[in-house]
Amino acid sequence: MTKYIIRGGKPLFGEVEISGAKNAAVAIIPAALLVDGVCRIENIPQISDVTLCLKILEQLGANIRTINRHAVEIDCTHIHSTRTNYDLSRKIRASYYLIGSLLGRFGEAEVAMPGGCNFGGVRPIDQHVKGFTTLGAKVMVEGGFIHAFSENRRLKGANIYLDVVSVGATMNIMMAAVMAEGNTVIENAAKEPHIVDLANFLNSMGANIRGAGTDTIKIRGVDHLTGGTYAIIPDQIEAGTYMAAVAAAGGQVLVKNIIPKHMDCITAKLVEMGVSVEEHEDTLLVRRTDPLQKTNIKTLPYPGFPTDMQPQITTVLSLAQGTSLVTEGVWNSRYRYVDELKRMGASIQVDDKTAVVEGVDHLTGAPIQAYDLRAGAAMVIAALAARGESEITGVQYIERGYEDIVEKLRSIGADIRAVEEPDETLESGVG
Ligand code: EPZ
Protein backbone atom coordinates (compact mmCIF):
# COMPACT_ATOMS: atom_id res chain seq x y z
CA MET A 1 0.00 0.00 0.00
CA THR A 2 1.49 3.30 -1.13
CA LYS A 3 0.58 6.75 0.11
CA TYR A 4 1.69 10.18 -1.01
CA ILE A 5 3.14 12.74 1.35
CA ILE A 6 2.85 16.25 -0.02
CA ARG A 7 4.19 19.41 1.56
CA GLY A 8 2.13 22.11 -0.12
CA GLY A 9 2.17 25.84 -0.64
CA LYS A 10 4.98 25.83 -3.22
CA PRO A 11 4.29 27.26 -6.69
CA LEU A 12 5.11 24.98 -9.62
CA PHE A 13 7.68 25.87 -12.28
CA GLY A 14 9.06 24.00 -15.29
CA GLU A 15 7.83 21.66 -17.99
CA VAL A 16 5.67 18.58 -17.92
CA GLU A 17 5.20 16.04 -20.72
CA ILE A 18 1.70 14.63 -21.17
CA SER A 19 1.29 10.88 -21.76
CA GLY A 20 -1.04 9.01 -24.11
CA ALA A 21 -4.75 9.19 -23.31
CA LYS A 22 -5.95 6.59 -20.83
CA ASN A 23 -9.52 6.48 -22.09
CA ALA A 24 -8.32 6.04 -25.67
CA ALA A 25 -5.80 3.35 -24.69
CA VAL A 26 -8.30 1.25 -22.74
CA ALA A 27 -10.51 1.13 -25.87
CA ILE A 28 -7.82 0.79 -28.54
CA ILE A 29 -6.11 -2.16 -26.78
CA PRO A 30 -9.35 -4.24 -26.75
CA ALA A 31 -9.97 -3.07 -30.35
CA ALA A 32 -6.77 -4.86 -31.34
CA LEU A 33 -8.83 -8.07 -30.91
CA LEU A 34 -10.59 -7.13 -34.15
CA VAL A 35 -7.36 -7.16 -36.10
CA ASP A 36 -5.90 -10.13 -37.91
CA GLY A 37 -2.18 -9.38 -37.76
CA VAL A 38 0.23 -7.34 -35.68
CA CYS A 39 -0.88 -3.93 -34.34
CA ARG A 40 1.89 -1.74 -33.12
CA ILE A 41 0.45 0.78 -30.68
CA GLU A 42 2.59 3.75 -29.67
CA ASN A 43 2.25 6.51 -27.07
CA ILE A 44 0.65 4.04 -24.65
CA PRO A 45 0.53 5.45 -21.11
CA GLN A 46 2.31 3.42 -18.41
CA ILE A 47 -0.62 3.09 -16.02
CA SER A 48 -2.16 0.18 -14.19
CA ASP A 49 -5.39 0.16 -16.27
CA VAL A 50 -3.33 -0.40 -19.43
CA THR A 51 -1.36 -3.20 -17.78
CA LEU A 52 -4.67 -4.88 -16.87
CA CYS A 53 -6.07 -4.54 -20.42
CA LEU A 54 -2.93 -6.12 -21.88
CA LYS A 55 -3.09 -8.98 -19.35
CA ILE A 56 -6.71 -9.70 -20.27
CA LEU A 57 -5.81 -9.89 -23.96
CA GLU A 58 -2.85 -12.14 -23.22
CA GLN A 59 -5.15 -14.57 -21.40
CA LEU A 60 -7.36 -14.73 -24.47
CA GLY A 61 -4.37 -15.83 -26.52
CA ALA A 62 -2.96 -12.54 -27.82
CA ASN A 63 0.77 -12.38 -28.35
CA ILE A 64 2.05 -9.20 -26.75
CA ARG A 65 5.54 -7.86 -27.29
CA THR A 66 6.72 -4.83 -25.36
CA ILE A 67 8.78 -2.60 -27.64
CA ASN A 68 9.57 0.05 -25.06
CA ARG A 69 7.85 1.79 -22.15
CA HIS A 70 5.28 3.39 -24.47
CA ALA A 71 4.91 0.97 -27.36
CA VAL A 72 3.62 -2.58 -27.70
CA GLU A 73 2.90 -4.97 -30.51
CA ILE A 74 -0.31 -6.95 -30.13
CA ASP A 75 -0.99 -9.93 -32.35
CA CYS A 76 -4.52 -11.33 -31.97
CA THR A 77 -4.27 -13.77 -34.88
CA HIS A 78 -4.43 -16.82 -32.60
CA ILE A 79 -7.07 -15.93 -30.01
CA HIS A 80 -8.20 -19.20 -28.39
CA SER A 81 -11.02 -18.00 -26.15
CA THR A 82 -13.88 -15.51 -26.18
CA ARG A 83 -14.36 -15.76 -22.40
CA THR A 84 -12.32 -13.25 -20.40
CA ASN A 85 -10.69 -13.95 -17.06
CA TYR A 86 -13.29 -13.10 -14.45
CA ASP A 87 -11.02 -11.59 -11.82
CA LEU A 88 -9.06 -9.46 -14.25
CA SER A 89 -11.94 -8.11 -16.29
CA ARG A 90 -14.21 -7.24 -13.38
CA LYS A 91 -11.48 -4.97 -11.99
CA ILE A 92 -11.72 -2.49 -14.82
CA ARG A 93 -14.75 -0.68 -16.15
CA ALA A 94 -13.31 -0.51 -19.66
CA SER A 95 -13.45 -4.31 -19.91
CA TYR A 96 -16.89 -3.69 -21.45
CA TYR A 97 -15.03 -2.88 -24.68
CA LEU A 98 -14.11 -6.55 -24.86
CA ILE A 99 -17.77 -7.31 -25.54
CA GLY A 100 -17.87 -5.17 -28.68
CA SER A 101 -14.50 -6.33 -29.96
CA LEU A 102 -14.95 -10.08 -29.32
CA LEU A 103 -18.50 -9.99 -30.65
CA GLY A 104 -17.37 -8.07 -33.74
CA ARG A 105 -14.58 -10.50 -34.57
CA PHE A 106 -15.86 -13.88 -33.35
CA GLY A 107 -19.62 -13.42 -32.96
CA GLU A 108 -19.39 -14.24 -29.24
CA ALA A 109 -18.15 -12.67 -26.01
CA GLU A 110 -18.30 -13.58 -22.34
CA VAL A 111 -17.04 -10.76 -20.17
CA ALA A 112 -17.35 -10.32 -16.40
CA MET A 113 -19.84 -7.61 -15.45
CA PRO A 114 -17.81 -4.38 -15.16
CA GLY A 115 -17.00 -3.42 -11.56
CA GLY A 116 -19.37 -1.33 -9.45
CA CYS A 117 -19.22 2.41 -9.36
CA ASN A 118 -16.99 4.21 -6.94
CA PHE A 119 -18.03 7.81 -7.40
CA GLY A 120 -21.65 7.24 -6.51
CA GLY A 121 -24.72 6.53 -8.59
CA VAL A 122 -25.33 3.85 -11.18
CA ARG A 123 -23.22 3.24 -14.27
CA PRO A 124 -25.60 1.39 -16.59
CA ILE A 125 -24.67 -0.27 -19.90
CA ASP A 126 -28.17 -0.49 -21.37
CA GLN A 127 -27.16 1.58 -24.43
CA HIS A 128 -24.28 -0.81 -25.20
CA VAL A 129 -26.72 -3.72 -24.99
CA LYS A 130 -29.27 -1.89 -27.15
CA GLY A 131 -26.58 -1.43 -29.80
CA PHE A 132 -25.49 -5.08 -29.78
CA THR A 133 -29.04 -6.40 -29.96
CA THR A 134 -29.94 -4.01 -32.78
CA LEU A 135 -26.96 -5.46 -34.66
CA GLY A 136 -28.52 -8.91 -34.20
CA ALA A 137 -26.79 -10.24 -31.08
CA LYS A 138 -28.43 -11.87 -28.08
CA VAL A 139 -27.19 -10.54 -24.76
CA MET A 140 -27.75 -12.15 -21.36
CA VAL A 141 -26.18 -12.20 -17.92
CA GLU A 142 -24.98 -15.64 -16.77
CA GLY A 143 -22.95 -16.40 -13.66
CA GLY A 144 -21.55 -12.90 -13.34
CA PHE A 145 -20.67 -12.72 -17.03
CA ILE A 146 -22.30 -10.77 -19.82
CA HIS A 147 -22.75 -13.29 -22.58
CA ALA A 148 -23.30 -11.78 -26.03
CA PHE A 149 -23.50 -13.88 -29.16
CA SER A 150 -24.75 -13.81 -32.69
CA GLU A 151 -26.35 -16.95 -34.12
CA ASN A 152 -25.04 -16.16 -37.59
CA ARG A 153 -21.64 -15.26 -36.16
CA ARG A 154 -21.48 -12.09 -38.29
CA LEU A 155 -23.56 -9.17 -37.02
CA LYS A 156 -25.82 -7.23 -39.35
CA GLY A 157 -25.42 -3.46 -39.84
CA ALA A 158 -28.31 -1.33 -38.52
CA ASN A 159 -29.35 2.17 -37.48
CA ILE A 160 -28.87 2.78 -33.78
CA TYR A 161 -30.09 5.86 -31.96
CA LEU A 162 -28.51 6.33 -28.53
CA ASP A 163 -30.98 7.54 -25.90
CA VAL A 164 -28.12 9.11 -23.93
CA VAL A 165 -24.82 10.42 -25.25
CA SER A 166 -22.51 7.65 -24.07
CA VAL A 167 -18.78 7.45 -24.73
CA GLY A 168 -18.62 3.75 -23.89
CA ALA A 169 -21.68 2.76 -25.93
CA THR A 170 -20.50 4.75 -28.96
CA MET A 171 -17.08 3.06 -28.95
CA ASN A 172 -18.43 -0.40 -28.15
CA ILE A 173 -20.99 -0.29 -30.96
CA MET A 174 -18.33 1.00 -33.34
CA MET A 175 -16.19 -2.05 -32.53
CA ALA A 176 -19.07 -4.49 -32.90
CA ALA A 177 -20.16 -2.95 -36.22
CA VAL A 178 -16.82 -2.57 -37.92
CA MET A 179 -16.97 -6.05 -39.48
CA ALA A 180 -20.76 -6.42 -39.55
CA GLU A 181 -22.52 -7.16 -42.80
CA GLY A 182 -23.65 -3.89 -44.42
CA ASN A 183 -23.89 -0.39 -42.99
CA THR A 184 -24.37 0.85 -39.45
CA VAL A 185 -25.30 4.38 -38.42
CA ILE A 186 -24.90 5.52 -34.81
CA GLU A 187 -27.02 8.59 -34.09
CA ASN A 188 -26.62 10.85 -31.05
CA ALA A 189 -23.08 9.53 -30.76
CA ALA A 190 -20.55 10.90 -28.27
CA LYS A 191 -17.87 13.18 -29.75
CA GLU A 192 -14.97 12.92 -27.30
CA PRO A 193 -11.42 13.03 -28.75
CA HIS A 194 -10.96 9.35 -27.83
CA ILE A 195 -13.95 8.43 -30.05
CA VAL A 196 -12.14 9.98 -32.99
CA ASP A 197 -8.94 8.26 -31.91
CA LEU A 198 -10.58 4.83 -31.86
CA ALA A 199 -12.12 5.46 -35.31
CA ASN A 200 -8.73 6.56 -36.65
CA PHE A 201 -7.11 3.45 -35.18
CA LEU A 202 -9.71 1.15 -36.76
CA ASN A 203 -9.58 3.00 -40.10
CA SER A 204 -5.79 2.71 -40.15
CA MET A 205 -6.29 -1.08 -39.81
CA GLY A 206 -8.71 -1.15 -42.77
CA ALA A 207 -12.10 -0.18 -41.31
CA ASN A 208 -14.48 2.22 -43.02
CA ILE A 209 -15.79 4.64 -40.36
CA ARG A 210 -16.88 8.19 -41.16
CA GLY A 211 -18.23 10.98 -38.99
CA ALA A 212 -16.45 10.19 -35.72
CA GLY A 213 -16.33 13.47 -33.77
CA THR A 214 -19.85 14.40 -34.96
CA ASP A 215 -23.10 13.05 -33.59
CA THR A 216 -23.66 10.73 -36.56
CA ILE A 217 -21.13 7.96 -37.17
CA LYS A 218 -21.41 5.85 -40.33
CA ILE A 219 -19.72 2.47 -40.52
CA ARG A 220 -19.50 0.38 -43.65
CA GLY A 221 -18.73 -3.19 -42.58
CA VAL A 222 -15.51 -4.69 -43.96
CA ASP A 223 -14.47 -8.36 -44.15
CA HIS A 224 -11.41 -8.10 -41.99
CA LEU A 225 -8.89 -5.73 -40.45
CA THR A 226 -5.15 -6.11 -40.92
CA GLY A 227 -2.23 -4.96 -38.81
CA GLY A 228 -0.48 -1.60 -38.78
CA THR A 229 1.02 1.08 -36.55
CA TYR A 230 -0.91 3.66 -34.58
CA ALA A 231 -0.03 6.33 -31.98
CA ILE A 232 -2.56 7.21 -29.27
CA ILE A 233 -3.51 10.89 -28.76
CA PRO A 234 -2.30 12.84 -25.71
CA ASP A 235 -4.42 12.69 -22.57
CA GLN A 236 -6.72 15.72 -22.37
CA ILE A 237 -7.58 15.03 -18.73
CA GLU A 238 -4.00 14.48 -17.59
CA ALA A 239 -3.07 17.80 -19.23
CA GLY A 240 -6.08 19.52 -17.63
CA THR A 241 -5.08 18.11 -14.25
CA TYR A 242 -1.59 19.66 -14.46
CA MET A 243 -3.13 22.95 -15.62
CA ALA A 244 -5.45 22.86 -12.61
CA ALA A 245 -2.49 22.10 -10.33
CA VAL A 246 -0.70 25.25 -11.56
CA ALA A 247 -3.91 27.25 -11.14
CA ALA A 248 -4.27 26.08 -7.54
CA ALA A 249 -0.63 26.18 -6.42
CA GLY A 250 0.50 29.13 -8.60
CA GLY A 251 3.61 29.28 -10.78
CA GLN A 252 4.32 28.79 -14.48
CA VAL A 253 4.46 25.44 -16.27
CA LEU A 254 4.80 24.50 -19.93
CA VAL A 255 2.42 21.59 -20.57
CA LYS A 256 3.92 19.67 -23.50
CA ASN A 257 2.65 17.13 -26.04
CA ILE A 258 -1.00 18.17 -26.09
CA ILE A 259 -3.57 18.94 -28.78
CA PRO A 260 -4.62 22.54 -27.90
CA LYS A 261 -8.06 22.13 -29.54
CA HIS A 262 -8.88 19.30 -27.09
CA MET A 263 -8.01 21.62 -24.23
CA ASP A 264 -10.28 24.55 -25.25
CA CYS A 265 -13.12 23.59 -22.90
CA ILE A 266 -10.73 23.51 -19.94
CA THR A 267 -8.58 26.47 -20.99
CA ALA A 268 -11.65 28.72 -21.36
CA LYS A 269 -12.68 28.15 -17.74
CA LEU A 270 -9.19 28.61 -16.33
CA VAL A 271 -8.88 31.90 -18.23
CA GLU A 272 -12.20 33.06 -16.73
CA MET A 273 -10.64 32.33 -13.35
CA GLY A 274 -7.69 34.62 -14.07
CA VAL A 275 -5.15 32.01 -15.18
CA SER A 276 -3.02 32.90 -18.20
CA VAL A 277 -2.85 30.18 -20.87
CA GLU A 278 -0.70 30.74 -23.95
CA GLU A 279 -1.12 28.29 -26.78
CA HIS A 280 1.71 27.16 -29.03
CA GLU A 281 1.82 24.30 -31.52
CA ASP A 282 1.54 21.34 -29.16
CA THR A 283 2.13 23.07 -25.84
CA LEU A 284 0.32 25.34 -23.42
CA LEU A 285 2.12 27.76 -21.12
CA VAL A 286 0.06 28.03 -17.96
CA ARG A 287 0.73 30.81 -15.49
CA ARG A 288 -1.06 31.91 -12.34
CA THR A 289 0.21 34.85 -10.35
CA ASP A 290 -2.93 36.78 -9.38
CA PRO A 291 -5.74 35.65 -7.06
CA LEU A 292 -8.24 33.22 -8.63
CA GLN A 293 -11.71 34.49 -9.57
CA LYS A 294 -15.00 32.63 -9.17
CA THR A 295 -16.81 31.12 -12.14
CA ASN A 296 -19.66 28.71 -12.84
CA ILE A 297 -19.12 25.35 -14.51
CA LYS A 298 -21.42 22.67 -15.84
CA THR A 299 -20.01 19.36 -17.02
CA LEU A 300 -21.30 18.13 -20.37
CA PRO A 301 -20.33 15.66 -23.08
CA TYR A 302 -17.52 16.94 -25.36
CA PRO A 303 -17.02 19.72 -26.42
CA GLY A 304 -18.50 20.74 -23.06
CA PHE A 305 -16.47 20.89 -19.86
CA PRO A 306 -15.41 17.28 -19.07
CA THR A 307 -16.85 15.51 -16.05
CA ASP A 308 -13.43 13.91 -15.58
CA MET A 309 -12.10 17.40 -14.67
CA GLN A 310 -14.93 18.24 -12.28
CA PRO A 311 -13.23 17.26 -8.99
CA GLN A 312 -9.99 19.00 -10.01
CA ILE A 313 -11.67 22.26 -11.06
CA THR A 314 -13.89 22.31 -7.97
CA THR A 315 -10.71 22.08 -5.92
CA VAL A 316 -9.26 25.09 -7.74
CA LEU A 317 -12.52 27.02 -7.26
CA SER A 318 -12.40 26.29 -3.54
CA LEU A 319 -9.51 28.77 -3.50
CA ALA A 320 -11.10 31.43 -5.74
CA GLN A 321 -12.48 34.78 -4.61
CA GLY A 322 -16.28 34.60 -4.40
CA THR A 323 -18.86 31.86 -4.72
CA SER A 324 -18.90 29.51 -7.72
CA LEU A 325 -21.49 26.99 -8.83
CA VAL A 326 -20.43 23.61 -10.22
CA THR A 327 -23.10 21.43 -11.82
CA GLU A 328 -22.49 17.79 -12.72
CA GLY A 329 -24.27 17.22 -16.02
CA VAL A 330 -23.02 13.76 -16.95
CA TRP A 331 -23.14 11.55 -13.86
CA ASN A 332 -25.83 11.38 -11.18
CA SER A 333 -23.34 12.12 -8.49
CA ARG A 334 -19.63 12.73 -8.40
CA TYR A 335 -18.99 14.68 -5.20
CA ARG A 336 -17.74 12.06 -2.77
CA TYR A 337 -14.38 13.85 -2.59
CA VAL A 338 -15.95 17.04 -1.22
CA ASP A 339 -15.85 15.79 2.37
CA GLU A 340 -12.10 15.30 2.02
CA LEU A 341 -11.67 18.88 0.76
CA LYS A 342 -13.68 20.08 3.75
CA ARG A 343 -11.13 18.42 6.04
CA MET A 344 -8.63 20.81 4.50
CA GLY A 345 -10.79 23.86 5.15
CA ALA A 346 -12.77 24.13 1.90
CA SER A 347 -16.29 25.54 2.10
CA ILE A 348 -18.49 23.55 -0.30
CA GLN A 349 -22.16 22.62 -0.04
CA VAL A 350 -23.47 19.89 -2.31
CA ASP A 351 -27.13 19.77 -3.23
CA ASP A 352 -27.88 16.91 -5.60
CA LYS A 353 -25.90 17.66 -8.80
CA THR A 354 -24.75 21.14 -7.78
CA ALA A 355 -21.88 22.18 -5.56
CA VAL A 356 -21.86 25.68 -4.13
CA VAL A 357 -18.20 26.53 -3.67
CA GLU A 358 -17.41 29.46 -1.45
CA GLY A 359 -13.77 30.34 -2.00
CA VAL A 360 -11.49 30.36 1.06
CA ASP A 361 -8.16 32.12 1.53
CA HIS A 362 -6.20 28.88 1.89
CA LEU A 363 -6.44 25.15 2.53
CA THR A 364 -4.44 23.39 5.20
CA GLY A 365 -2.74 20.00 4.88
CA ALA A 366 -4.55 16.97 6.32
CA PRO A 367 -4.72 13.18 6.06
CA ILE A 368 -7.04 12.61 3.07
CA GLN A 369 -8.28 9.72 1.00
CA ALA A 370 -8.50 9.27 -2.79
CA TYR A 371 -11.84 7.56 -3.45
CA ASP A 372 -11.45 7.23 -7.21
CA LEU A 373 -9.12 8.30 -9.98
CA ARG A 374 -10.20 11.91 -10.55
CA ALA A 375 -11.10 12.45 -6.90
CA GLY A 376 -7.54 11.33 -6.20
CA ALA A 377 -6.18 13.87 -8.69
CA ALA A 378 -8.22 16.53 -6.88
CA MET A 379 -6.67 15.49 -3.56
CA VAL A 380 -3.19 15.89 -5.04
CA ILE A 381 -4.06 19.38 -6.34
CA ALA A 382 -5.53 20.39 -2.98
CA ALA A 383 -2.46 19.12 -1.15
CA LEU A 384 -0.09 20.96 -3.52
CA ALA A 385 -1.90 24.24 -2.84
CA ALA A 386 -2.44 23.71 0.89
CA ARG A 387 -0.30 25.07 3.70
CA GLY A 388 1.48 22.27 5.53
CA GLU A 389 1.67 18.54 4.98
CA SER A 390 -0.98 16.20 3.58
CA GLU A 391 -0.98 12.44 3.49
CA ILE A 392 -3.01 10.88 0.67
CA THR A 393 -4.14 7.26 0.89
CA GLY A 394 -5.90 5.26 -1.82
CA VAL A 395 -3.28 6.33 -4.39
CA GLN A 396 -3.70 3.07 -6.32
CA TYR A 397 -6.73 4.78 -7.86
CA ILE A 398 -4.57 7.68 -9.03
CA GLU A 399 -2.03 5.31 -10.54
CA ARG A 400 -4.75 3.70 -12.67
CA GLY A 401 -4.73 6.81 -14.84
CA TYR A 402 -1.73 9.09 -14.19
CA GLU A 403 1.64 7.95 -15.46
CA ASP A 404 4.58 8.78 -13.17
CA ILE A 405 2.59 11.43 -11.35
CA VAL A 406 5.04 11.69 -8.46
CA GLU A 407 8.06 12.10 -10.75
CA LYS A 408 6.27 14.54 -13.05
CA LEU A 409 5.20 16.73 -10.13
CA ARG A 410 8.65 16.59 -8.55
CA SER A 411 10.15 17.74 -11.84
CA ILE A 412 8.08 20.95 -11.62
CA GLY A 413 9.12 21.61 -8.05
CA ALA A 414 6.43 19.88 -5.99
CA ASP A 415 7.42 18.45 -2.62
CA ILE A 416 5.78 15.04 -3.04
CA ARG A 417 6.98 11.57 -2.20
CA ALA A 418 5.47 8.11 -2.32
CA VAL A 419 5.94 5.98 0.79
CA GLU A 420 5.12 2.32 1.32
CA GLU A 421 2.79 1.44 4.16
CA PRO A 422 1.76 -1.93 5.61
CA ASP A 423 -1.22 -3.37 3.70
CA GLU A 424 -4.76 -2.16 4.20
CA THR A 425 -7.74 -3.37 2.12
CA LEU A 426 -9.69 -0.95 -0.07
CA GLU A 427 -12.51 -1.78 -2.43
CA SER A 428 -11.37 -1.91 -6.06
CA GLY A 429 -12.23 1.06 -8.23
CA VAL A 430 -13.34 1.51 -11.79
CA GLY A 431 -12.08 3.76 -14.57
C1 EPZ B 1 -16.33 7.13 -19.93
O2 EPZ B 1 -17.17 6.32 -19.11
C3 EPZ B 1 -15.06 7.32 -19.16
N4 EPZ B 1 -14.45 6.02 -18.85
C5 EPZ B 1 -15.31 8.09 -17.87
O6 EPZ B 1 -14.06 8.41 -17.32
C7 EPZ B 1 -16.05 9.39 -18.18
O8 EPZ B 1 -16.44 10.01 -16.97
C9 EPZ B 1 -17.27 9.15 -19.04
O10 EPZ B 1 -16.92 8.39 -20.22
C11 EPZ B 1 -17.95 10.43 -19.50
O12 EPZ B 1 -17.04 11.21 -20.24
C13 EPZ B 1 -13.75 5.38 -19.77
O14 EPZ B 1 -13.56 5.86 -20.90
C15 EPZ B 1 -13.18 4.07 -19.40
P16 EPZ B 1 -20.72 7.21 -20.55
P17 EPZ B 1 -18.46 5.68 -19.72
O18 EPZ B 1 -21.24 5.95 -21.10
O19 EPZ B 1 -18.23 5.41 -21.15
C20 EPZ B 1 -25.22 7.22 -18.89
C21 EPZ B 1 -12.37 8.52 -15.74
O22 EPZ B 1 -12.29 9.14 -14.67
N23 EPZ B 1 -25.30 5.89 -19.55
O24 EPZ B 1 -20.33 8.29 -21.49
O25 EPZ B 1 -18.84 4.54 -18.86
C26 EPZ B 1 -24.30 7.17 -17.67
O27 EPZ B 1 -24.98 6.75 -16.52
C28 EPZ B 1 -13.64 7.80 -16.09
O29 EPZ B 1 -11.44 8.44 -16.55
C30 EPZ B 1 -26.52 5.25 -19.62
O31 EPZ B 1 -27.53 5.73 -19.13
O32 EPZ B 1 -19.50 6.88 -19.58
C33 EPZ B 1 -23.85 8.60 -17.62
O34 EPZ B 1 -24.80 9.37 -16.95
C35 EPZ B 1 -14.64 7.81 -14.99
N36 EPZ B 1 -26.57 4.03 -20.25
C37 EPZ B 1 -23.80 9.05 -19.08
O38 EPZ B 1 -24.60 8.11 -19.78
C39 EPZ B 1 -25.47 3.48 -20.83
O40 EPZ B 1 -25.58 2.38 -21.40
C41 EPZ B 1 -22.42 9.06 -19.72
O42 EPZ B 1 -21.76 7.80 -19.52
C43 EPZ B 1 -24.26 4.13 -20.76
C44 EPZ B 1 -24.18 5.35 -20.11
pLDDT in tens, 366-406: 999 999 999 999 999 999 999 999 999 999 999 999 999 99
Give me the mean pLDDT over the 22-50 stretch: 97
* Per-residue confidence band for 81, with pLDDT thresholds at 50, 70 and 90: very high
Is the distance from the beta carbon of residue 126 to the nearest atom of ligand 1 less than 6 Å?
A: yes
- Name the pTM for this structure: 0.96
- Residue 427 pLDDT > 70: no
76 classed as catalytic:
no
Q: Measured in angstroms, how far is the CA atom of residue 166 from the centroid of ligand 1?
A: 6
- Give percent above pLDDT 70 in the chain: 96
Is the distance from the beta carbon of residue 308 to the nearest atom of ligand 1 less than 6 Å?
A: yes
Calculate the average pLDDT of the chain.
95
For 2-19+234-427, CATH number? 3.65.10.10
Q: Measured in angstroms, how far is the CA atom of residue 274 from the centroid of ligand 1?
A: 30
- pLDDT at residue number 353: 96
Residue nearest to atom 33 of ligand 1 (CA): 331
Common-topology check for domains 2-19+234-427 and 22-231 = yes
Distance in angstroms (rounded) separating the CA atoms of residues 351 and 346? 16
pLDDT one-digit tens code per residue, 92-134 = 889 999 999 999 999 999 999 876 445 555 678 999 999 999 9
* Per-residue confidence band for 83, with pLDDT thresholds at 50, 70 and 90: very high
Does domain 22-231 bear CATH number 3.65.10.10? yes
Atom of ligand 1 nearest to the CA of 167: 24
Domain map (residue ranges) of the chain: 2-19+234-427, 22-231
pLDDT one-digit tens code per residue, 182-219 = 999 999 999 999 999 999 999 999 999 999 999 999 99
End-to-end CA, the chain: 19
Q: Measured in angstroms, how far is the CA atom of residue 16 from the centroid of ligand 1?
A: 28
